[in-house]
Amino acid sequence: MGDMRSRTFPPVFRGRLHDPRTATSIGRWLGLAFAVCFVTGLISHVLQHPPGWAADDLPSRPAWGYRLTQGLHVASGIAAIPLLLAKLWTVYPRLFAWPPVRSVRHALERLSVAVLVGAALFEVATGLLNTVQWYPWPFSFVPVHYAVAWLVTGSLLLHIAVKAPEIRAHWSRRSPGTTALPEEDGPDRRSLLAAVAAAVGAVTVTTVGQSFTPLKDLDLLAPRHPDHGPQGLPVNRTAVAAGVGAIPAERYRLTVAGPRPYTLTLDELRGLPQHEVELPIACVEGWSKSAHWTGARVVDLLELAGAPPHARVRVVSLQTRGGYRVSEMGHEHARDPLTLLALRLNGEELSPDHGYPVRLIAPNRPGVLQTKWVGRLEVLT
């Protein structure tokens, strides 16, 4: 094949700051962002698809738990975008290391970095596109995003282990590796790191208002805004999309199936003791907003049906289209006094898109499981 080392390949990088100190400085923030993303993602996964061992004991408190963790999940994912791009820029010349493979160990190391880079780019890109409900790929988002998250985390741990000596040598400004680098790069590096920090700040403040409502006025680029939606609250599936249309009040019935089954009309439901709670709708896509809900406590309905204290409860919607028609909850959620079959939102009757006439609202629960247009409660034994 002759000498591949021509004048153009591999390319020579004379630019500054493609050094381990810059990589370490950016890398630790990126590592932190990915760690937060992974942990909050796991929490979301367990809450939405509870494995058998956890299903009955998921905590219903703190009430704002899922709002916080999922808000953090999307915010840390967005913050990771400038960090990841800056990190890859820093180490880009290493892609052209010559010879490309020195030993088996070197080959494995490069392979693990390739997996890390591919999986990291994949996660932030698919996650960001999911927040705008754009699915240009042939596979199903949730299981793949979840699987690749493990791949990123694993290859990141491996990467940190492999690079540990270099990371230690460049950890601080006075570390031996850092002081061995050209001194004149110091101010330039600080200016670059300040710019990366500014980029993280900029993408955060222009999007985080979709869940952190005090910053909603700076929400310029997020796919949701807390003030946009029927009754001032965003929705994911409308009544039309769910195929329920307008449910006539006089025809509505709530069936509670349990040891002492019964059926209630809407007026009878309104006649039960009404409670007002403040709870957020927190969506897996990252947006969330708190609201005042009024309705009957699920625990009261369960008592009327003679449900055993540790029974699981299935909530069935009247919707005819779309996923998440049925949701279940363990006794922690079912017995929580904040868990309501809500009839009113912020003092008004529920609008069709918010689940008229009756919807579930429970603390520390993903939005898709806050079943709307509830027609049936089933006590599971």
**Which residues between 314 and 353 bind another protein (CB under 8 A)?**
353
Location of structure tokens 């670059």 = 192
Of 60 and 131, nearer to another protein (C-beta) is 131
Of 220 and 249, nearer to another protein (C-beta) is 220
Three-state secondary structure of the chain: CCCCCCCCCCCCCCCCCCCHHHHHHHHHHHHHHHHHHHHHHHHHHHHHCCCCCCCCCCCCCCCCHHHHHHHHHHHHHHHHHHHHHHHHHHHHHHHHCCCCCCCHHHHHHHHHHHHHHHHHHHHHHHHHHHHCCCCCCCCCHHHHHHHHHHHHHHHHHHHHHHHHHHHHHCCCCCCHHHHHCCCCHHHHHHHHHHHHHHHHHHHHHCCHHHCCHHHHHHCCCCCCCCCCCHHHCCCCCCHHHHCCCCCCHHHCEEEEECCCCEEEEHHHHHHCCCEEEEEEEECCCCCEEEEEEEEEEHHHHHHHCCCCCCCEEEEEECCCCCCCCEEEECHHHHCCCCCEEEEEECCEECCHHHCCCCEEECCCCCHHHCCCCEEEEEEEC
Q: Is 221 in the site for another protein (CB under 8 A)?
A: yes
Burial label for 346, CB within 10 Å (0-12, 13-18, 19+), is middle
Out of 26, 68, 208, 222, the residue judged to bind another protein by CB under 8 A: 222
Out of 23, 30, 115, 342, the residue judged to bind another protein by CB under 8 A: 115
Per rule CB under 8 A, count of chain residues that contact another protein: 80
Of 283 and 313, nearer to another protein (C-beta) is 283
Q: Is 230 in the site for another protein (CB under 8 A)?
A: yes
Q: Is 235 in the site for another protein (CB under 8 A)?
A: yes
CA-nearest of 336, 213, 280 to 67 is 280
The least CB distance from residue 326 to another protein, in Å, is 21
Binding segment toward another protein, per CB under 8 A, in 87-95, 261-269, 274-282, 325-333: 87-95
Q: Is 111 in the site for another protein (CB under 8 A)?
A: no
Q: Is 169 in the site for another protein (CB under 8 A)?
A: no
Q: Is 122 in the site for another protein (CB under 8 A)?
A: yes
The least CB distance from residue 13 to another protein, in Å, is 8
Q: Is 368 in the site for another protein (CB under 8 A)?
A: no
The least CB distance from residue 81 to another protein, in Å, is 6
Q: Is 82 in the site for another protein (CB under 8 A)?
A: yes
The least CB distance from residue 24 to another protein, in Å, is 16
Q: Is 117 in the site for another protein (CB under 8 A)?
A: yes
Q: Under rule CB under 8 A, which residues in 43-72 are in contact with another protein?
A: none
What's the rounded Cα separation, in Å, for the pair 55 and 380?
13
Q: Under rule CB under 8 A, which residues in 171-210 are in contact with another protein?
A: 188, 191-192, 194-196, 198-200, 202-203, 206-207
The least CB distance from residue 139 to another protein, in Å, is 4
Location of structure tokens 């609008």 = 351
Binding segment toward another protein, per CB under 8 A, in 99-107, 119-127, 270-278, 337-345: 119-127
Q: Is 107 in the site for another protein (CB under 8 A)?
A: no
Take residue 267 and report the two structure tokens written for it: 């007026």
Of 335 and 354, nearer to another protein (C-beta) is 354
What's the rounded Cα separation, in Å, for the pair 247 and 319?
11
Q: Under rule CB under 8 A, which residues in 242-261 are in contact with another protein?
A: none
Q: Is 35 in the site for another protein (CB under 8 A)?
A: no
Q: Is 262 in the site for another protein (CB under 8 A)?
A: no
Q: Under rule CB under 8 A, which residues in 126-165 are in contact with another protein?
A: 126, 128-129, 131-134, 137-140, 143-144, 146-162, 164
